[in-house]
Amino acid sequence: MCREEAKQLASLKPELTKLNVPMYGVVHEKLGVEEFKPFLQSEIYFDEKKLFFGDNWCGLANLLRPSVLMAAWRTRNTAGNLEGEGRLLGGVLVVGAGEQGVLFEHREQVFGDTVDPAKVLKAAKLIEDASSDTQEKPTNQESD
């Protein structure tokens, strides 16, 4: 399911590039990263201490939820594997420039709880607006 969401986010890259907004991936284990890179098409960083998304673990009982089963069915044609630690849920953050902080946050609640790419793009556009507002603007005043 992560790979399908990564493909959706990667589809935003042309628009993010126009906005001069980079995209990065953060993973909690190295297993499978090389296979994952083509889906996200971005730099990927390893969070060795698993601090980036905190204590966002999904219990095994959640695997039987209808939404999880539907997500698994929806992504059945996306190549993947079932290796490694799969209980740590992911998420998406859009972090603004300078003092803007986090402009958008989506944390998975259960497996397959994917982010809306339109919301990611909307938040990324706020970064562009904020950076253009802080640029020095010429004045129309004449000096004596």
Q: Which residues contact 19 (CB under 8 A, 6 or more apart)?
A: 124, 125, 127, 128
| CB neighbours of residue 52 within 10 Å | 16
Burial (CB count <10 Å: 0-12, 13-18, 19+), residue 112: buried
Q: What is the 3-state secondary structure (H, E, C) of 103-116?
A: EEEEECCCCCCCCC
Strand partners, 46: 27
Token reading at 21: 């907004």
Positions annotated as catalytic residues are 2
CA nearest neighbour of 56 among 123, 109, 11? 109
